[in-house]
Chain A
Amino acid sequence: MLVPQADTIQELAFRAKAGTGSSAKPSAIEREIIDLFEQFRNPLLRYVIAFGLSVHDGEEIIQEVFLALFRHLKAGKPERNLRGWIFRVAHNLALKQRLANRKAQTVLNFDEAEADRLPDQAADPEEQAASNQRLQRLQAVVRALPEQDRCCLYLRAEGLRYREIAATLGISLGAVSLGLARSLARMERATQG
């Protein structure tokens, strides 16, 4: 994946803020891309970093996704179900990036990354301890799920419909439905202790 140099990024961002990147007004497609970015950036970033990728990698993937979407729309390709399209491309890019990271042996260990992200909210100490214990059990179950089931859960949590999840992961609707039910049953057993 092409990652611009830091000074290039700063230069581009500065020009964008200053409005000097291009004298032309944003086209309708550019405005549409920006609207979609504002709507889906956080759900997409949550989804891709759940693969164990760094936030930096996640941000780059999202840039790639929306540039690909720009090319897609500019080429007059169909505009049906853009949300599904966006998540599908992000999923594929996240898999590629994770593979590249593993090859470079710089992958962030998924378990460690998740453990580092446990909530640490101020509350009654006993209540917080019980809550954290339950969440830790839940997290352990989620980590142990087959990757396909875990992706189904993450995508559903981001609001995708079953057909969008099926298209993103290249599986059947039945597999989505079964995977979600199976995962929830496992999590429920775990939180009940």
Chain B
Amino acid sequence: MLRKTFHLSDQDILLVLDGEASRIDANQARAHLSACWSCRSRLAALESTIGDFVSLHQRSLDPQLPVATGSLALLKARLAEAAAPPSSGSWRQFLQISPAHRTAAYICAVVFLGALGAAFLRQHSELRRPAVAEPSFAGATAIPNHKLTPGATRPVSIGDVCSMPHEEVVRDVPSSLRQQVFKEYGIVNPHPEDYEIDYLIAPGLGGTEDIHNLWPEPSNSAAWNAHVKDSLEERLHELVCDGELDLPTAQKAIASDWITAYKKYFGADKPGTSSKHYLSRNDSKVAETLALPLKAPA
């Protein structure tokens, strides 16, 4: 990283100041700084400018910041609402509603129970018929059939790929297309919880919403499931946006065999065993990454 010049550049000095230079480069730079007054003077000037900027940034913006109490209370309330189960109300609340509304609710309940009963009888009679459409798991595999799902991409730039967090790019596949994918894989009466119609090459890596890029992936049943693949997609997105991997290589790796790609880019033979994946919240590395203060042992 360090330029082969007599003096250090501003960029080199800044890399050292910010702790972003490699250990070798940092050692070389420190050795040079200890011997060179000119570069030490540049370092001091840069430090002074940083100090001025931080002072300006905080002093001009901090007085604008309201106290956090109100927004924290609002966030807590919104989180509680988001976390609450969808059912609402209690029997006590039900008894407090007006008689007219209560009567309407009784009628709705009777109609609902009637419909439920009819559905049960219909299902019961269907069970007596010869089975014609049992749920099939024959087509579900962790690796897609490459003849049906070779992967499909759209022309995208690195800027497009990296301008949004990976998870914001992913959209739900339309129902009609989902049905086509199941049909193509010969899966009849699929249970929604058993599969995720997944993109082979994720949209966040330039994959398209095309039947050649979609397949029914087992959700939870196997070790190599949709959640594990999501982790790989995040990892590849991060590597591409950090400039450590080029986009075509990432697309090819995930399209040809995503399990092999997972092992390669996480450096792990099994899901979740890499230090790069699902780190423990108590892990000091995570605390360091998040800049969270570590508690001293009692």
**Contact status of A188 and B72, CB under 8 A, knowing A83-B291, A138-B56:** no
**Distance (whole angstroms) from the CB of A111 to the closest CB of chain B:** 13
Q: Tell me if B70 counts as interface (CB < 8 A to partner A).
A: yes
Give the complex CA separation of A51 and B45 in angstroms: 28
**Distance (whole angstroms) from the CB of A89 to the closest CB of chain B:** 6
B227: A residues at CB distance < 8 A: 76
B286: A residues at CB distance < 8 A: 79-80
Asked whether, in the complex, the Cβ of B230 is within 8 Å of the Cβ of A77, the reply is: yes
Give the number of chain A interface residues (Cβ < 8 Å). 82
Asked whether, in the complex, the Cβ of B81 is within 8 Å of the Cβ of A118, the reply is: no
B55: A residues at CB distance < 8 A: 135
**Contact status of A117 and B162, CB under 8 A, knowing A13-B70, A13-B73, A184-B10:** no
Quick check: which of A14-22, A98-106, A122-130 contacts chain B, the rest being far away?
Answer: A14-22
Quick check: which of B59-67, B92-100, B127-135 contacts chain A, the rest being far away?
Answer: B59-67
Contact for B80 among A22, A161, A170, CB less than 8 A:
A22
Residue of B nearest to A164 (CB): B289
Give the complex CA separation of A158 and B10 in angstroms: 21
Give the complex CA separation of A58 and B38 in angstroms: 43
Contact for A118 among B14, B60, B234, CB less than 8 A:
B60
Residue-wise, chain B 47-64 has the 8 Å CB interface mask toward A (1 for contact) of 011101111111111111
Residue of A nearest to B18 (CB): A162
Give the complex CA separation of A33 and B241 in angstroms: 26
Chain A, 6-28, CB within 8 A of any chain B CB: 9, 12-13, 15-17, 21-22, 24, 26-27
Give the complex CA separation of A81 and B131 in angstroms: 51
A59: B residues at CB distance < 8 A: 66, 71
Give the number of chain B interface residues (Cβ < 8 Å). 70
Q: Tell me if B110 counts as interface (CB < 8 A to partner A).
A: no
Q: Tell me if B276 counts as interface (CB < 8 A to partner A).
A: yes
Q: Describe A's contact surface by its main secondary structure.
A: helix
Q: Describe B's contact surface by its main secondary structure.
A: helix
Contact for A21 among B48, B81, B276, CB less than 8 A:
B81
Q: Tell me if A173 counts as interface (CB < 8 A to partner B).
A: yes
**Distance (whole angstroms) from the CB of B267 to the closest CB of chain A:** 14
Asked whether, in the complex, the Cβ of B71 is within 8 Å of the Cβ of A41, the reply is: yes
Residue of B nearest to A56 (CB): B66
Q: Tell me if B191 counts as interface (CB < 8 A to partner A).
A: no
Residue-wise, chain B 244-276 has the 8 Å CB interface mask toward A (1 for contact) of 000000000000000000000000000000001
Q: Tell me if B145 counts as interface (CB < 8 A to partner A).
A: no
**Distance (whole angstroms) from the CB of A74 to the closest CB of chain B:** 8
Asked whether, in the complex, the Cβ of A33 is within 8 Å of the Cβ of B79, the reply is: yes
**Distance (whole angstroms) from the CB of A67 to the closest CB of chain B:** 6
B84: A residues at CB distance < 8 A: 22, 24
Residue-wise, chain B 216-258 has the 8 Å CB interface mask toward A (1 for contact) of 0000000000010011001000100111000000000000000
* 18 extra interface residue pairs, beta carbon distance < 8 Å, beyond A33-B79, A49-B61, A142-B53: A22-B83, A26-B76, A27-B83, A30-B76, A33-B75, A41-B72, A55-B66, A66-B79, A72-B167, A80-B289, A89-B165, A157-B57, A157-B58, A167-B162, A167-B241, A173-B243, A177-B15, A188-B49
Q: Which 6 A-B pairs have the closest CB atoms?
A: A170-B162, A12-B77, A16-B77, A22-B80, A117-B60, A181-B11
